[in-house]
């Protein structure tokens, strides 16, 4: 049960963003830019990073909603698996594997990212922009995960609810009227 009053029918972060629209719009715009804005990482790869970090942070709502978005972005099953298993997932590119390692380090703490992590990512073709985007997505998800869980956001238990969210997020992104 949420610790603050949220609108009925708005699970997870949606209810929290609607509670205080002045900040809600800005958070939604940031997430939209990070996950759908211009980047050489595909939207599906960025969703994998977000879902993986959320899983590491034990944020069920974010892990499940972003994981459910991946298949609706015409991504292969290996990317959905990467959202669960991270760098150990089979069939993902060496670059995504290295970037997930960086994202996992960010989830532990920014100073956990090492020269070795960065060098390994660059060795398999990660660009400076991709490293930047990975770290920023991972850091933003740490913030959002704590926002969602820290205020006890409504977390559905049914897979169908997450699939509906995944369809909408893949189609519309993260901007919405609050």
d(C-alpha 94, C-alpha 84), whole Å: 17
Q: What is the mean pLDDT of residues 143-172?
A: 96
Q: Which residues of 81-108 are buried (b: 16+ CB within 10 A; e: fewer)?
A: bbbeebbebeebeebbbbbbbbbbbbbe
- Arithmetic mean of pLDDT, 1-13: 88
Give the pLDDT of residue 175: 82
Check whether 166 has a pLDDT greater than 90.
Answer: yes
State pLDDT tens for residues 26-75.
999 999 999 999 999 999 999 999 999 999 999 999 999 999 999 999 88
pLDDT in tens, 87-107: 999 999 999 999 999 999 999
Q: What is the pLDDT of residue 75?
A: 83
Is the CATH number of domain 12-172 1.20.1290.10? yes
Three-state SS string across the chain, please?
CCCCCCCCCCCHHHHHHHHCHHHHHHHHHHHHHHHHCCCCCCHHHHHHHHHHHHHHCCCHHHHHHHHHHHHHHCCCHHHHHHHHHHHHCCCCCHHHHHHHHHHHHHHHCHHHCCHHHHHHHHHCCCCHHHHHHHHHHHHHHHHHHHHHHHCCCCCCCCHHHHHHHHHHHHHHCCCCCC
CB atoms near residue 16 (< 10 Å): 24
Report the pLDDT averaged over residues 149-170. Answer: 95
Question: What length does the chain have?
Answer: 178
Q: Indicate whether 23 pLDDT > 70.
A: yes
In tens, the pLDDT along 101-127 reads 999 999 999 999 999 999 999 999 999
- Residue 10, pLDDT > 60, answer yes
């Amino acid at each position: 049960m949420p610790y603050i009053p949220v609108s009925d029918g708005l699970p997870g972060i949606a209810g929290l963003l609607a509670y205080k629209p002045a900040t809600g719009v800005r958070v939604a715009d940031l997430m939209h830019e990070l996950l759908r804005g211009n980047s050489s990482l595909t939207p599906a790869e960025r969703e994998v990073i977000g879902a993986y970090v959320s899983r590491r942070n034990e944020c069920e709502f974010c892990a499940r909603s972003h994981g459910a978005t991946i298949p609706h972005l015409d991504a292969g099953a290996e990317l959905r698996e990467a959202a669960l298993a991270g760098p150990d997932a089979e069939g993902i590119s060496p670059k995504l594997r290295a970037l997930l390692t960086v994202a996992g380090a960010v989830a532990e703490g920014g100073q956990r990212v090492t020269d070795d992590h960065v060098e390994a990512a660059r060795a398999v073709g990660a660009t400076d922009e991709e490293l930047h985007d990975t770290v920023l997505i991972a850091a933003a998800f740490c913030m959002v995960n704590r926002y969602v869980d820290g205020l006890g956001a409504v977390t559905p238990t049914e897979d169908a609810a997450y699939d509906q969210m995944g369809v909408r997020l893949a189609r519309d992104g993260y901007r919405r009227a609050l």
